[in-house]
Structure formats: C-alpha cells, structure tokens
A and B are shown apart, each in its own frame.
Chain A
Amino acid sequence: EAGVTQSPTHLIKTRGQQATLRCSPISGHTSVYWYQQALGLGLQFLLWYDEGEERNRGNFPPRFSGRQFPNYSSELNVNALELEDSALYLCASSLISRDNEQFFGPGTRLTVL
C-alpha cells in the first residue's frame, strides 16, 4: 500500500512569491493535515481538511491557505512568502476515528531567499 506522498521534495522561492505544495493521502483516507516544521520550533498545526472541507486551522495568517480535491489529495498555498516561512512542510492523512492516528509523508522543504 502506497504511503502519503508529497511534491515537490524541495522548493526554492524568493520573498513575495507564492508557493504551492501538494499531498496525496493514503488510499481510503479522507482527512489531510498540514504541519509546519521550522528549525527549532517543533511541528505547528496548519490546516485540516476532511471530505473537501476545511475543518480546523492553526494560528497562521490567511496567506496560508489550501484546498482538498474530490480525490482527497490536497494543496497548500503560501502567498507573499516571507523569509520565516522557510521550513519543512509535512502532510499527514488519516481515517476519521476515535484515536486520530495520522500517517505522515516525507515533507516538502521550502526555502525562501
């Protein structure tokens, strides 16, 4: 069974540009989560999508947005990039269940110059 996949592996942008990151969940999983892992800051919850709807959002500005497609894959968009957006962005998927076990992809390393 294929795991969670993310693309691209690495992304280099300059300040003010927009970045688009993509995630494909495990087959059968309807929920997709996005996390930001900045150096020294652990993982910060960004967004949760389920059945095409945004269900929850972390403490991030509106320039972080995303969507979930009918096939449950997801896209994270970051507008007006700032230097501090440089981080590893991790996507996870899960079935909606009582214990909320999440399966993570390898991440996209975003570097903002």
Chain B
Amino acid sequence: GDSVTQMEGPVTLSEEACLTINCTYTATGYPSLFWYVQYPGEGLQLLLKATKADDKGSNKGFEATYRKETTSFHLEKGSVQVSDSAVYFCAPSSRGGTASKLTFGTGTRLQVTL
C-alpha cells in the first residue's frame, strides 16, 4: 500500500531561517501530492499541492516540487515566521476507484522562535 516518510520532528528554527521538510512516498500509479498544515488546536488545512511530475505547488511562501524520479515532495520556505509554527503533513493521494484516499505520515512539528 501507499506510505509516506517524513523527517522526524520537532524542527526548531529561528525566525527568518530557511526551512526544508523532507518527504518521500511510495504509491501506486501517479498520485497527486499534498502538503497539509495543522495549527495548534485546529483541523488540517491544505497548504499546497501538485498533481503531476515536475509541478511546483506554492502558497504563503512555501514551495514543493513533485519529483517523480526520486518519489519526493520536499517542503521549503526561504524565511520562516513564528506564525508558521505548526505540524506539517505530506500526503500522496491514490487516484480514483476504491483506492481513493490520502495517506498521511506522522507529520513534522515545526517550532519557530524569535
């Protein structure tokens, strides 16, 4: 079945530091890829997505590129803010049929300090 490997957290950074959260996946076919974010005490919000190889998803200064050859979808941001402190989940989506679902890893907690 599908699986996701994310870097272990927590990741602690100072404000304005660069962020990379690694994500690799295994999935059948050609999944869509998502990053979701969960702020403290809240549900999940879609951060960005990419639906085919070499697509780059971006939102709020975050970016991730769909790398089919390395089955990776690493999340990057050039300058983090305290308000980015949250848990980040990488999730491939099986396409269609009865397999249609998102597969989540354990998430990576990011803590940004002043």
Which A residues are closer than 8 A to B by beta carbons?
Answer: 4, 31, 33, 35, 40-45, 48, 55-56, 58, 90, 92, 96, 98-107
Are A105 and B43 interface neighbours, CB within 8 A? yes
A-B pairs under 8 A by CB, number: 68
Task: For residue A69, give the distance in angstroms from its CB to the closest CB of chain B.
Answer: 20
Are B32 and A106 interface neighbours, CB within 8 A? no
Chain A positions within 8 Å of B93 at CB level: 99-101
Residue B25 lies at the interface, judged by CB distance under 8 Å to chain A: no
Are A98 and B51 interface neighbours, CB within 8 A? yes
Task: For residue B25, give the distance in angstroms from its CB to the closest CB of chain A.
Answer: 14
Are A101 and B46 interface neighbours, CB within 8 A? yes
Q: How many residues in B have their beta carbons less than 8 Å from beta carbons of A? A: 25
In the assembled complex, 14 residue pairs joining A and B whose CB atoms fall closer than 8 Å, in A order, are: A31-B100, A40-B106, A42-B104, A42-B105, A45-B102, A48-B100, A56-B101, A92-B44, A100-B95, A100-B101, A103-B46, A106-B42, A106-B43, A107-B43
User: Looking across the interface, which residue of chain A has its beta carbon closest to that of B87?
Assistant: A42
Residue B71 lies at the interface, judged by CB distance under 8 Å to chain A: no
Complex Cα gap A44–B105 (Å)? 9
Most buried by A among B43, B93, B96, B104: B43
Residue B70 lies at the interface, judged by CB distance under 8 Å to chain A: no
Q: A100: which of B32, B36, B104 is its contact (CB, 8 Å)?
A: B32
Give 15 A-B pairs besides A33-B102, A102-B102 with Cβ atoms closer than 8 angstroms: A33-B101, A41-B106, A42-B106, A45-B101, A45-B103, A55-B98, A56-B98, A56-B99, A58-B101, A98-B51, A99-B95, A100-B93, A101-B32, A101-B34, A104-B45
